[in-house]
Amino acid sequence: MLLQQKRNVRNKWEIITFSQQKWQAAHFGTEKGAVFKSLTLYRQAFKIIYSFIQEMKDKAAIIEAARKFAAKGQIDKAIAELERLITDNKDGNICNTIGDLYLKKGAPKEAADYFTKAAQIYREDGFAPKAIALYKKILNLMPSDAETLAALAALYAEKGVTVDAVENLMRAAEIYDRNGAQEKALGLCESALQLSPSDVNIRTKMSELYLKAGFKERAANGYASIASDYLSKDEPDRAHEFYAKALSIDSKNISSLTGSGILAEKSNQMDKALKFLAQAVSFAPDDNGLLQAYANLAVRARKTEDAKKLLLAIIEKKPSDTGARKLLGDIYLSEGRPDKAWRELLPAIEEAVLAQELDEALKMLHNFKELHPLPVRERIVNIYRTKGDCEAITRELKSLAALYEKEGAYKDALHAYKEVLVSDRDNSSIRYKVEDLEKALGLRTPHNKEEIIVEKLPDEKADMRLAGGEDYESHYISGVDYKKRGLQDEAVREFRLASGDPEKALLSLRMIASCYMEKGAYSLAIAEFHKILEKVSRDDERHLDIKYELAGAYMNNNDNNTAFELYSEIQARDPDFKDIRDKIAMLKEQTQQKAGEKEKQKRDRVSYI
């Protein structure tokens, strides 16, 4: 038993440590009174040390004997002596020496076997340079040893010498490939690709190996991926070469067909480009992205009738596809058919506004000023309000007010002109317009001309005043009326004017936020609620109410993390506030469900590589 324990010990330092442990245990036993046990442990420690010393003497004697045999040219006897030492011990130096003796004897295969054992021992012991030197020694004897090349590559990778690691992995892969071991070759290529992901040679070799192994789809996808990279680097000839390789393997490869279409268009071969895209569509008729790409190409190729047929088919299958509707709307505009274009572009305009892509929304709206003057200009004004572009707001309001006046909507015209005066109060022509409209609406007497002028008050609130306190009230009432009728944009405009009254500012801003909530424009509602919170102190009893509404807006905007933080802040201040406990519990449950779903997805995930 003791001998077996000694044999399991790796080297002389471990043997010494092991004997020290026995000695310490014996000493501890003596102190505790366990004398017999202590004597046994002392005896074991002495035996270990004695055995080690004896072994070292034996080892030295064997090495000396082997040296003498080798000096006399008796190589086999020298090897036999040294092989006695490696029965129980792992000694890289001994294995290396035996390898040299076999090499001297003219037995390179046996020499390589011992060099390999020595290299493995050195690697395990942390002597990477010695291991690398031995692997190179083996490769001088056997240049096509794939296992040695792979082992050497692994050492280079550990040391961070990526270039040499990749080179040796690919050499090994080539050897396995020549010998028909494609799976092993692919494994080495994948390892090389992890070290150098953009290396075209590795990716090309992998596609070749996939093809040999019968994985045609993977091979084609590999070539198509290389081609796409060349296309992005503006190297069309190389891209064409690899797309052609992919299509020669799989004529239905969608990526290669679309890429070839792009190349054809770049060389102004529009008919050829359309042919490639048409083929791709025929193989993937339900791919809306592909259908839209074909429609876009058809438009650029001036094949608008083909594009329209395709887009109408997409919209029939999926009416909510705003991308297709936008493209169809653009075609109708190019044909001078704004009525049809309006129907298609309206959803895209709404989507752009909600996504805060305001310039894009304005660009689309400007096409319909003549078709629908009032609703279009109202939308334009609201977008400029969101952008905070005062100059544009004033310009568009003047045009809108003139249109209201022309249509006989004098009250709306009056409101628009008064809003113009907020930013352009010295405009005498607008003042006279306001005067005339107020007379027409019975709001002013003819002799009371000066009352409509916005006074230049010395205090900082002058810019927010219109013709008097009663005007703010009328704007607020109009806003409530518009809101009840579902005219949220008009309501927002009125509440925005009413917010100029300090007494109605907070209430008007809350109404604006409410309008945005009803429209589904949650990001705009969030912005308004934040403005309100800036005006309300934490001690104000309305503070928690507003924060509660803000949290609801974040929830509707799919930002549950922020909503949870806000609800938690409210609960910390007032644990019994409204249904705050239920809200927090609901959000926690949703978070746990999502976490569970993600974990399930991880478990269900399958690798096809």
DSSP string, 153-193: HHHHHHHT-HHHHHHHHHHHHHHHHHTT-HHHHHHHHHHHH
Residue 426 has pLDDT above 60, yes or no: yes
Instruction: Report the range of poorest mean pLDDT among 46-60, 408-422, 562-576.
Output: 46-60
The C-alpha atoms of residue 449 and residue 74 are separated, in whole angstroms, by 130
Taking residues 565-578, report their average pLDDT: 88
Work out the pLDDT band at 559, boundaries 50, 70, 90: confident
Answer yes or no: is 432 within a domain: yes
Containing domain of residue 59, as a range? 2-64
DSSP of 98-127: HHHHHHHHT-HHHHHHHHHHHHHHHHHTT-
Query: HSE-up of 496 (CA within 13 Å, CB side)?
Result: 21
Q: Name the pTM for this structure.
A: 0.49
Any domain includes 454: yes
**pLDDT tier, 59 (very low <50, low <70, confident <90, very high otherwise):** low
Q: Residue 363 corresponds to which tokens in the numbers above?
A: 């660009």
pLDDT tens track for 167-189: 888 898 889 888 888 888 888 88
Q: Is the pLDDT of residue 518 over 50?
A: yes
Does the pLDDT of residue 457 top 70, yes or no?
Answer: no
Nearest alpha-carbon partner for 296 in 306, 287, 307: 307
Both tokens assigned to 378:
């109202």
Output the six-digit token pair for 586: 């609901």
Q: What is the pLDDT of residue 578?
A: 84
Q: How many domains does the chain have?
A: 2
What pLDDT, in 10s, does the model give residues 460-470?
Answer: 333 434 444 44
* 190, 206 contact by CB (below 8 A): yes
In a domain, 490, yes or no: yes
**Res 159 pLDDT > 60:** yes
Whether 15 has a pLDDT exceeding 90, the answer reads: no
What average pLDDT score do residues 349-370 get?
89
Highest mean pLDDT among 38-52, 255-269, 595-609: 255-269
Q: Which two tokens stand for residue 467?
A: 């013709």
- State the pLDDT confidence band at 33, using cuts at 50, 70 and 90: very low
CATH number of the domain where residue 433 is located: 1.25.40.10
In angstroms, what CA-CA distances link 499 with 388, 431, 440, 493, 494?
A: 16, 21, 26, 10, 9
Q: Residue 337 has what pLDDT? A: 92
Mean pLDDT along residues 418-433: 83
Residue predicted with more confidence, 93 or 561:
561
Question: What confidence score (pLDDT) does residue 252 get?
Answer: 93
Asked if residue 458 has pLDDT above 70, the reply is no
Q: In this structure, is residue 254 part of a structural domain?
A: no
The tokens for 459 are 């205090």
Q: What is the pLDDT of residue 256?
A: 94
Following DSSP, what letter does each residue of 242-289 receive, concatenated?
Answer: HHHHHHHH-TT-HHHHHHHHHHHHHTT-HHHHHHHHHHHHHH-TT-HH
- Residue 470, pLDDT score: 46
pLDDT in tens, 483-509: 877 888 888 988 888 888 887 788 888
Residue 453 has pLDDT above 50, yes or no: no
Residue position matching structure tokens 């790409």? 293
Q: How confident is the model at residue 88 (pLDDT cuts 50, 70, 90)?
A: low
Tell me, yes or no, whether 187 lies in a domain.
Answer: no
User: Would the pLDDT of 7 be above 60?
Assistant: no
pLDDT over 70 at 108, yes or no = yes
Can you tell me the distance from the alpha carbon of 81 to that of 490, in angstroms, rounded to the nearest whole number? 102
For the residues 531-535, what does the mean pLDDT come to? 87
Looking at the chain, the number of H-run helices and the number of E-run strands are: 31, 0
Question: 228 in a domain, yes or no?
Answer: no
Q: Is residue 129 one of the residues assigned to a domain?
A: no
> pLDDT confidence of 64, banded at 50, 70, 90?
low
Residue 339 lies in a domain: no
The pLDDT of 284-295, averaged and rounded, is 84
